[in-house]
Every structure is written in C-alpha cells, then in structure tokens.
A = this chain, B = another copy of it.
Amino acid sequence: MVKRYVPAMVKDEILIKKRREQMVKAAVKLFQEKGFHRTTTREIAKAAGFSIGTLYEYIESKEDVLYLVCDSIHDGVKTRFTEMLDRNLPGRKRIEQLVRSLIHVMDELQDEVLIMYQESKALSKESLTYVLNRDRSMTEGIRSVLIECREHGEIELSDLEAQLLAENIMTKGYMWTFRRWALRKHFTLEQYTDLQVEEIMRSLKTPK
C-alpha cells in the first residue's frame, strides 16, 4: 500500500478523516511558522479546535502528525499536478507541459512543499520510506512520459538518461521552493519557468 496505516482510538472512519484534516491544516500553518520541533502538540490541538486529549484519540505520537502532514501535502501536489496534465498533447509539448505544470504546482504549494522537504528527516525510518516512495512514484510518472516520447520517436535518450532527466525535472520543481531565497532575487516565476523549459528542450537529443 502507498500509505502508512496510522492507528486511532476512535472507530468512526468519517470522524477520523474529518479530525485529521483539521489537525493537518492546523499543523501545516504552525510548522510553517515555527518548524516541527518548535511546535507543541498542545498548539496543534488548540489550533485544530480540540483538546490535547482528543488529538491523541486520532494519532499515536507527534510524529504521526508530521507523517499525516507530509502525506496530505503529497496528495495536494499529486492531485494538482495530475489535473494540469493533458495527455493528448503532441510529443515534446508534453515534456514542456510537464515541467511547467510541476513548477507551477510547486509555486502554489511552496510553503507546504518546503515543510515536507525540511521536516521529513524528523520522521521515523518507516514513515520516511512511505514519503520517499510517493516522491519516487511521481518521478516514475515523469520518467514514463519521457519513455513514451522516446517510443514515439520524438526524442532520443537511454534508459539511464531518462531516469536522470526525470530526477532533474523533479529537482527543478523542488528548487523553486527550497532555493527561493536565491532565485526570487533574480527571477519571476515566469522567467524561471521559461528558462528552465528552454534549457531542458535544448538538452534533448533528436533521433536521426
């Protein structure tokens, strides 16, 4: 399964979903302001609108909140990213669109993505595996598009090159968030997107 099972004391699944959404929303805001370690469980509970006792009816440990946050952010990124993709675009245009969509989503969810990036190391090994797997599956999605393009004879690249390009594209998305302190000084979102797209397109090899 793609998601870790987080045990709850409460049985009602609908309530669990509702309460966890409240807590994630509150936690995202707090983690953004103060980071995971400086945020207390009491603060999360209060910001979520219930008591500390109730918080622990829906999770087992503070780390669970972080996991749920990361999971929820991944859902957000994945959903928006997928929505933006048009599978019917022709060849190279699909790659371009892929990059533009990714950067766009990363920009929209920059605060959330930053949390995930900076705090995920505080996760237990097990939770981290789940989070990394979701990242990997996204990279895999990008890679499969590249492979498809190759199959259609649009571009020429080895399996290894496809893998690296997928990683590079992912990183171009992420870096807009975690190097924003540097990038924002020089580029608007549009400039950044255009230039990165151009760079990738130039680097693509055309089959003879």
Contacts and interface: CB of A to CB of B under 8 A. Distances in A.
A168 interface: yes
A187 B164 contact: yes
A63 interface: no
A181 B132 contact: yes
Number of copies: 4
B179 A160 contact: no
A121 interface: yes
A191 B160 contact: yes
A136 interface: yes
Interface residues of A, number: 34
Contacts of A121: 35, 118
Interface of A: 35, 37, 118, 121-122, 132, 135-136, 139, 160-161, 163-165, 167-168, 171-172, 175, 179, 181-183, 186-187, 191-192, 195-196, 199-200, 202-203, 205
A187 B205 contact: no
Contacts of A163: 186-187
Contacts of A164: 186-187, 192, 195-196, 199
A100 to B, nearest CB: 15
Contacts of A136: 182
Contacts of A196: 164, 168
